[in-house]
């Protein structure tokens, strides 16, 4: 096993512990960020492992969001509904239509628009 292989294995473990924070993982392993990104560009297996850790970090963040919702945090509940509940109508509309070259980008129904 080469030194690079040892470093890659250590980086994967460090990235898991740091939930994908590259700087933290690099410091704990003793390699530079540039070395990590070189491994990432040049080693398909390493890249796949690093990418899967990013999903773990998102899963962790989602679990924390659900925990806050269960605790009654209304901001978390609103955020969740705005991002995951769009298909059920939990969306916000701007008070103003956004237009480009005279064409509206978001069609806000007349009854939602503010009165002048």
Q: Summarize pLDDT for 29-79 with one digit per residue, the tens.
A: 999 999 999 999 999 999 999 999 988 888 999 999 999 999 999 999 999
β-partners of residue 104 are 99
> Distance (Å, rounded) from C-alpha 43 to C-alpha 8?
10
| Average pLDDT score over residue span 13-29 | 96
β-partners of residue 64 are none
Mean pLDDT of the residues in the chain = 86
Quickly state the pLDDT bin for 92 (edges 50, 70, 90): confident
β-partners of residue 50 are none
Provide the pLDDT for residue 113: 59
Answer for the pair 16, 2: CB distance below 8 angstroms, yes or no. no
């Amino acid at each position: 096993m080469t030194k690079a292989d040892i470093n890659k294995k250590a980086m994967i473990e460090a990235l898991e512990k740091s939930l994908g924070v590259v700087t933290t993982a690099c410091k704990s392993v003793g390699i530079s960020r540039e070395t990590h990104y070189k491994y990432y560009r040049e080693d398909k297996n390493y890249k796949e492992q690093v990418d899967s850790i990013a999903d773990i970090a998102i899963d962790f963040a989602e679990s924390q969001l659900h925990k806050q919702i269960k605790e009654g945090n209304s901001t978390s509940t609103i955020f969740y509904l705005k991002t995951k509940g769009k298909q059920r109508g939990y969306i916000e509309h701007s008070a103003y239509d956004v237009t480009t070259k005279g064409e509206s980008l978001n069609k806000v129904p007349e009854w939602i628009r503010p009165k002048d």
